[in-house]
Chain A
């Protein structure tokens, strides 16, 4: 029982990490709470759902198309709603346009797919393996492998690929990066694109493992991403991993051992406690304010 819960917790944690990465990168570059993140990922998940249900496209192709469309949507949101306001005096302004963009996407999703829970088709192998007497569903293992693989791939991309290095530079200091000849607008749009893509893949994996997709998962996704990012320490990949895992595992243990209706309140309470004890998150560095 304990190991089952732990395994599912790790799987959910890996999915949360995927959703959090894009969010955390955007935050570390622009200091912008991207409220539209969750709605973008649910858009991609719905697209994947439609492709699978209506057109019977091969799951891999469907995921690829959905992720690309999600990335494009995220980039469009950035170009339309955030770019003009980047030099605005106060970040709160762009936060509100982010909220507005979230409403627009959410409402468009609702018009297209409605707000009831749809059953998401299984796209992965649904067998069960028996390892050391434990019943381990293959789906869970595959999801874990895909999620961890993407996280590793993204980390390598950031470290070694020139574009990845450009992203790190921009997140360090925008004016200096632009002096070094890095195209700021393109890099930021790329961050949104990648963040959107990873978010969509996370959303699809989440929907497969619970075989359900609904509109309400969008806003919850935004909150989850923000919470995980803050718990781990915002802006770092390691932080996203720690935060996502922590959230996934805690949620499952509380849900199973304490009470499922108090699962979310207790998770949020944990967040408050962590913020009070260590305001920068578990892995976060102390931010120094310039005078």
Chain B
């Protein structure tokens, strides 16, 4: 009995410390200063990192950060498990690639259209959430992802099949032609900042509180008068919008795009990044992105063991810290 009390005391004190730490972080002034410092650091980062190889890795981190922040909105804020996120990423990528190479569109309209097309398909796939629940919805997203990839592979006239679309030209925005790794870094940074600002505005709005309520307790939320079905569909669509943007970025950054960029493994990787980082907090997935990208790069020399090591990382992180590295709270059932 005493033992139990002692343990609960210990828990309480750690809990209090966490609360104190959190309230310090939640202080608006500190938060703003931290964000401004972070942004300044990001702007001057290319001056510190002169190595193009490292810049390339950082660019991929930014790309995945955008994807994972969008996915986190779906996963961490509504509790829908989507294993088809790569399809929306791919929709964005193919939209940009096809419009730029065949119809001479500028990059900016392509970027916006990519986002919008991903959004529309997201809403379309989100519609079944009204009827199909939980794991079945997860299967739907897997099916959609596979359909997208297989059609992209088989529809040779339109997508050029497994060869993919090559030779995507250098993008230009208002006369700024984006060529070097550093240019792409700044483009990515602009997109990432856009993602973060829009998402934090969304999460802190009335709308955001509604879908947090849905995550905490769907039934209670619906009793409170929240139209849970509509909210879920919209949130799913918005998460996909960012995937479309990331896909567009990928198309111009890689200058080629193939169906194998958007395999199921890619969706799994995004989910892993979000979960390792921690769900349900806006910036936590970035920690997952950084950890997983560095792990992938670090183990490049022993590439044949890569998935094994990543698998072991996943299992151990979740066995001992189910809420992720920086996650605030684990999921409720």
Contacts and interface: CB of A to CB of B under 8 A. Distances in A.
A53 interface: no
A269 B312 contact: no
A154 B234 CA distance: 45
Contact of B308 (A89, A103, A226, A279): A103
B136 A230 contact: yes
B147 A265 contact: yes
Of A31, A96, A259, the most chain B CB neighbours within 10 A belong to A96
B199 interface: no
Interface residues of A, number: 45
A102 B315 CA distance: 10
Contact of B333 (A89, A102, A110): A89
Contacts of A269: 143, 147
Interface string B155-184: 000000000000000000000000000000
A111 B305 contact: yes
A93 interface: yes
Nearest to B274: A96
A197 B306 CA distance: 28
Contacts of A219: 264
Interface in A1-42: 27, 31, 33
B319 A85 contact: yes
Contact of B315 (A92, A97, A264): A97
Contact of B131 (A93, A104, A279): A279
A272 B140 contact: yes
A275 interface: yes
A261 B153 contact: yes
Contacts, number: 134
A89 B147 contact: no
B128 interface: yes
Contacts of A271: 139-140, 143
A262 interface: yes
Contact of B143 (A88, A227, A261): A227
B325 to A, nearest CB: 13
Interface of A, helix, strand, loop or mixed by DSSP: helix
Interface string A207-241: 00000000000010001001100100000000000
Given A89-B332, A265-B147, A226 B319 contact: no
Given A95-B81, A96-B271, A219-B264, A104 B315 contact: yes
A69 to B, nearest CB: 19
Contacts of A81: 315, 319
B319 A97 contact: yes
A85 B323 CA distance: 12
Nearest to B308: A107
Of A103, A111, A226, A264, the most chain B CB neighbours within 10 A belong to A103
Nearest to B153: A261
A106 interface: yes
Given A88-B322, A107-B307, A100 B315 contact: yes
Contacts of A179: none
A276 interface: yes
Nearest to A219: B264
B143 A93 contact: no
A37 to B, nearest CB: 14
B294 interface: no
Interface in B35-62: none
B311 interface: yes
A96 B272 contact: yes
A103 B331 CA distance: 23
A99 interface: yes
Interface string A89-127: 111110111011111101110110000000000000000
Given A88-B322, A107-B306, A100 B311 contact: yes
Contacts of A130: none
Interface in A242-273: 259, 261-262, 264-265, 268-269, 271-272
A91 B322 CA distance: 11
A291 interface: yes
B133 interface: yes
Interface in A66-96: 80-81, 84-85, 88-93, 95-96
B135 interface: yes
Contacts of B305: 107, 111
Contacts of B308: 103-104, 107-108, 111
Contact of B146 (A90, A102, A107, A264): A264
Given A84-B319, A111-B308, 15 more contacts: A27-B135, A89-B332, A93-B322, A96-B314, A99-B314, A100-B311, A100-B315, A104-B311, A111-B304, A227-B139, A265-B146, A271-B139, A271-B143, A272-B140, A279-B131
Top 9 nearest A-B pairs (CB, nearest first) are: A90-B331, A100-B314, A103-B311, A104-B311, A107-B308, A268-B143, A107-B307, A100-B315, A261-B154
Interface of B: 75, 79, 81, 128, 131-133, 135-136, 138-140, 142-144, 146-147, 150-151, 153-154, 219, 264, 268, 271-272, 275, 304-308, 310-315, 318-319, 322, 330-333
